[in-house]
Amino acid sequence: MVDSKKGSRLVVIRIPPPQRALALTAAVMLALGACLHASTNDPFPAGYGMSTFNCIIRHDDFSGRQPWLPASLLKDSLTFGFAAHGVYFYDAMDNLRETAIRQISIGGWWQIAKYLTIKAAYARFSALDIYLEDIGQFSAGSQVLKYLNISIELEGFRTGLRDSDVAKHRSLFAGASLSVPLKYLSFTARAGKLLNLSLTDDTYRPPRQLSFGLHTTHGTFGSQGMVLEYTDVEAERIRFFLGEEFWLTPNLGIHFAFATNPLLIGFGFAVNVKSLSSYAGFVHHGELGWSKGFGVDWAQ
């Protein structure tokens, strides 16, 4: 319903329920489009990387074990693990209840042999329970040299309205990643959604991403990282990310990060107790407000 006053007259325009639902969905997608592009990794990733923007990555702890990250980023003495993460998008900071725009991610990883790592993850994005996305991710990586890990990634998408007669859009993409883990820092490079493997022309097309990062290990002043990313969205853009993590105690860490284009500010904390880690992150978008994320990681 849209009301407008002209003098003493009240004009009321009534929109039928089906059209109202479609109009509401369109409004949501327009609001999200500038920053989400209906994609899992835009404008910020899932998991611990939500509020660090994946600037903080170490190959031997939960930051590198995240199942939705490439397998090339993991080089751990542990054998397998699981992780889950939930995000509530763009809501008031004082509202910790469920919101209308949210995403849930779950996944796991397994080091089958010394030189082979497999990761798999699934995520569901929902806007008002009207527009839905299902995202499946698979990555297989190997250590090819002492200081070189490589991996290949597959990402599948299914998008559309929940109760629509229109067929859901399905698509499949391939990418590749590499990392060079050294004693005090590591270098990473990733080409995401590089090849379209979909069998039909009517497919959902998330933006391709090319990124390069430098990430330090634990030191006196914590861990630092920076990432430079190119994305081929409608207006091609380059993004810069910078992050800092500091552990106050062996079990409690805090982190801060910012990103450009769009400007995002993130902060959060992590608690690590033996094989179980939990973390919370908060990200502020200058126009859309706060997003909140909570996750857990277990490894054995």
pLDDT score recorded for residue 21: 38
* DSSP string for residues in 233-264: SSS-EEEEEEEEEEEEETTEEEEEEEETTTTE
Q: Is the dihedral of CA 154, 259, 263, 103 positive or negative?
A: positive
In the chain, domain spans: 2-299
Kindly report the average pLDDT of the chain as a whole number: 82
pLDDT tens for residues 277-289?
Answer: 999 999 999 888 8
pLDDT above 70 covers a percentage of the chain that reads 79
Q: What is the three-state SS of 119-136?
A: EEEEEEEEECCCEEEEEE
pLDDT tens for residues 51-89?
Answer: 999 999 998 889 999 999 999 999 888 899 999 999 998
Query: Which of the four CATH numbers 2.40.160.40, 1.10.10.410, 3.30.420.40, 3.40.50.300 does domain 2-299 have?
Result: 2.40.160.40
Lowest mean pLDDT among 29-38, 66-75, 210-219: 29-38
pLDDT tens for residues 243-258?
Answer: 999 999 999 999 999 9
Specify whether the CB–CB gap between 15 and 26 falls below 8 A: no
pLDDT score recorded for residue 201: 60
Q: Rounded distance, CA 161 to CA 133, Å?
A: 9
Question: Residue 235: which pLDDT band, with cuts at 50, 70 and 90?
Answer: low
Q: To 10 degrees, the CA torsion angle through 91, 95, 98, 104?
A: 60
pTM for this entry: 0.81
Q: Is the dihedral of CA 239, 292, 170, 172 positive or negative?
A: positive
